[in-house]
Chains A and B, each alone.
Chain A
């Protein structure tokens, strides 16, 4: 599947390998200063690095007869977790035995810290200021003890975030309602809870030099294609940016094709969609700080599959999917075909319709294409305004605005009534698409088609569709042809493309994505 650029990728791998070696050494050198045995000096140093930020909390106390200090960022830690930790070590009887060892050899510290560990909180030993700072900023607490050159990171991230709520962008009538939130850890958990299999692999990395955003790459080992997983990691590792605030930051870095209106990375806020994709052999990228999880590879047909297609019976799902595909074409070509027909191919219309349309056009001062542009642009403005406004007002603006303006424009004789109908149907058709980003792409393409129709009529539309088909067939998502399974044609994968067969007939995984371990269920049933 990487046949287009196998050599390049191989070289990349080698380059990656050597790069990794060198970065490891560089990192060691970069770790910089280690802790000193003087607690006060350590504290002063940390304070200095953080520039005396007011939300840094330092508490002094005596631990095992030694001065100790706990450092954390106010509001980012779970204080209950820290309290538990201290209750635990105070209850440990061996504590006193070790009261003297701290002045001894450094090796002893390891045992000491082991003693402190609790069954639940994760503890990490650290030696450098840098590590301490990173831990504090991530929301952990750092324990420093006088005369010890090691610190202890207590896992106590306790940021209060949004609860797991219903999805706001991908609604279903039937199906799980929960959606991801901004907490990357909770998001991975939601996925893990759906797939309880040891082969589910979560690999974490930190991207963003300043934001230090944690990114998790999730795949099912043995189902996902290894080369693909490697490729995802390689592309993520190449990202060098100060901050990652939303998954689109990553999407734009890792997508195959930049000069295309079509999305080649899928995003969703539904754990069930991610789980289904993982089971198909696709790879999920969970980014801390956004509820939108990326899925790759994303093919053209994926954007027409709604979660609910699999939660309603297959005949209904098939019908809905066909409806969606026709809505896709209406949404893309609606105004274009209308313009072409009434400007160039009037002979195509039944006579009564032609006369009725001609009567409506009487007195309209603009050519049809201008008329269509006015309406389309108005609609886009209304839609965008409706999105940005507070929820309660937003709906009023978009619906009332469209209706009132449409009605008024018709009465004023600026726009013909038929054009309002065409534009309205087009806009509604656009909403039927389950993927918002595909919807936007179609909106852009619609304008191109309108110009083509306005200049060349149906001939222009045909030429445009031809170019569109060529373009769609030329792009790839992580090496997988975008139009798979239509081009290249994979007959077996048609089972879940235009129609959806009953679930017990969906025996194999999409052939090109997984490429191995294709069997989903035994054939005998």
Chain B
């Protein structure tokens, strides 16, 4: 009898909780991208929400824009976010955030204060990418409608991922990694830049989706270099690539080298696996560090008549590719040591691991030390495959 009474009582407890934190799916505004700018000491937060019914594969309503953005100001990020609820029809939901765009102005001023909420609030993950909007405020970037991937944030996300994977002048940096870089004394942060081509206003219209050659596009360009949390300048493509070689971020990329004798024609070497080691060579008399890159490569494209069946030719190509990569690495090192005069390449972390005692002494003034350190670089490229044919058909065409 006691049991029979007890059971319904236990069942009632279920309802006491009142379904706390229960959110029906259709009440969520799924935020996929967030932009942060600063205007007149106030943060401007732009949130890009998905319009599910315009995106869903089955009942896709193509007349409606797949995304919608809301913008609000606030003294803190959180205030701005909560203020968004005044304009957004649903409560914004952040775990599915794909990308965070930091406006260039905010980046120059220092953006660290803006990130605390994102690293504190449990609703934010730390696996979304962070990019810096170059020449534009963040909200312009988020307002662009883009084809193929209906959701602009997804577009930016995959674009960054692919270009970082197969081309390498960009850097797919997640929020978690950024926080790690910001707190590290041995490495300053760098963030990939994103740029808008064309008129920002045009990009907001559906017409931008309806043409095969959209007027307004989003493009990743170069890498922004930060000292602590302040934007100090941009690396060009060559330096960006060099940077990625040094931090061992290159998975696959292309090296275009001139045909051995013919300086006007080129051939492409596709790196399929590159491995970088940073090392402290010696401490005496002065610290000397080195970058060693070992890469496996294929010949991807040959634009001239050379005899690839000869080992000597292949050796020469390897040498040329090594030279090219080495030049990129040198340019990145030069940018760090001569132009910016601080270490965003991570040599400080190498020093920290190799000489913890010495590191303790120089930790605070590492950037000054870094500028004078000799950094050697060595690149080995090993060409393994030539593709479907050995010599190019150009050889057989005759002159």
Contacts and interface: CB of A to CB of B under 8 A. Distances in A.
Interface of A: 259, 342-344, 346-347, 351-352, 354-364, 367-368, 417, 451-452, 454-457
Most chain B beta-carbon neighbours within 10 Å: one of A351, A355, A367, A368 = A355
A259 B3 contact: yes
B93 interface: yes
Given A456-B14, A457-B21, 10 more contacts: A343-B24, A344-B22, A346-B25, A354-B30, A358-B25, A358-B30, A359-B58, A359-B59, A361-B26, A362-B26
Nearest to A351: B96
Contacts of A368: 24-25
26 contacts: A343-B23, A343-B24, A344-B22, A344-B23, A346-B93, A347-B95, A347-B125, A351-B96, A354-B96, A355-B30, A355-B55, A356-B58, A358-B28, A358-B50, A360-B59, A363-B26, A367-B24, A368-B24, A368-B25, A417-B58, A451-B14, A454-B19, A455-B17, A455-B18, A456-B17, A457-B22
Given A346-B23, A351-B32, A452-B14, A359 B154 contact: no
Contact of A355 (B18, B24, B50): B50
A259 B21 CA distance: 33
A455 B19 CA distance: 4
Given A355-B50, A455-B17, A346 B28 contact: yes
B125 A361 contact: no
B24 A361 contact: yes
B50 A343 contact: no
B316 interface: no
Contact of B154 (A342, A343, A351, A360): A351
B53 A359 contact: yes
Nearest to A448: B11
Contact of A351 (B11, B22, B25, B98): B98
B56 interface: yes
B57 interface: yes
Interface string B69-97: 00000000000000000000000010110
Most chain B beta-carbon neighbours within 10 Å: one of A351, A361, A451, A457 = A351
Most chain A beta-carbon neighbours within 10 Å: one of B14, B15, B25, B32 = B25
Contacts of B25: 342-343, 346, 354, 357-358, 361, 368
B146 to A, nearest CB: 16
A346 B21 CA distance: 11
Contacts of B59: 359-360
B22 A355 contact: no
Nearest to A358: B52
A347 B3 CA distance: 39
A364 to B, nearest CB: 7
A361 B28 CA distance: 11
Interface in B95-147: 95-96, 98, 123, 125
A358 B21 contact: no
A346 B14 contact: no
B261 to A, nearest CB: 52
Contact of B56 (A343, A351, A360, A367): A360
Interface string B330-355: 00000000000000000000000000
A352 B50 CA distance: 10
A364 B15 contact: no
Contacts of B32: 351
Most chain A beta-carbon neighbours within 10 Å: one of B15, B26, B50, B52 = B26
Interface string B152-167: 0010000000000000
The 6 nearest A-B residue pairs measured at CB? A359-B56, A347-B95, A359-B52, A358-B52, A361-B26, A361-B25
Contacts of B98: 351
Interface in B38-80: 50, 52-53, 55-59
Contact of B14 (A347, A356, A455): A455
Contact of A343 (B22, B30, B55, B93): B22
A354 B22 CA distance: 16
A262 to B, nearest CB: 16
A346 B50 CA distance: 14
A228 to B, nearest CB: 28
Contacts of A363: 26
A454 B24 CA distance: 11
Contacts of B53: 359, 362
A368 B154 CA distance: 27
A367 B22 CA distance: 10
Given A364-B26, A456-B17, A359 B96 contact: no
Nearest to B29: A358
Contacts of A451: 11, 14
Contacts of B52: 355-356, 358-359, 362
A448 B93 CA distance: 29
A363 B50 CA distance: 16
Contacts of B55: 355, 359
Contacts of A355: 30, 50, 52, 55-56, 151
A457 B30 CA distance: 20
A406 B113 CA distance: 52
A356 B50 CA distance: 11
Nearest to B157: A351
A451 B95 CA distance: 25
Contacts of A351: 30, 32, 96, 98, 154
A355 B151 CA distance: 10
A331 to B, nearest CB: 22
Contacts of A342: 24-25
Given A354-B96, A362-B52, A344 B28 contact: no
A339 to B, nearest CB: 10
A451 B50 CA distance: 30
Nearest to B59: A359
Nearest to B13: A455
A363 B26 CA distance: 8
A2 to B, nearest CB: 24
Contacts of B11: 451
A419 to B, nearest CB: 11
Contacts of A362: 26, 52-53
A346 B17 contact: no
Contacts of B3: 259
A455 B11 CA distance: 11
Contacts of A356: 52, 56-58
Nearest to A368: B24
A457 B21 CA distance: 9
Contacts of B50: 355, 358
A368 B96 CA distance: 21
Contacts of A259: 3
Contacts of B154: 351-352
A428 to B, nearest CB: 22
A259 B5 CA distance: 13
Nearest to B66: A355
A411 B249 CA distance: 50
Nearest to A371: B24
A355 B55 CA distance: 7
A483 B218 CA distance: 60
B112 to A, nearest CB: 25
Given A259-B3, A355-B50, A346 B95 contact: yes
A457 B18 CA distance: 12
A117 to B, nearest CB: 58
Contact of A344 (B15, B21, B30, B96): B21
Contacts of B26: 358, 361-364
A362 B28 CA distance: 11
Contacts of A417: 58
A451 B17 CA distance: 12
Nearest to A349: B96
B96 A347 contact: yes
A363 B23 CA distance: 15
A360 B154 CA distance: 20
A351 to B, nearest CB: 5
A283 to B, nearest CB: 29
A196 B292 CA distance: 80
A338 B131 CA distance: 35
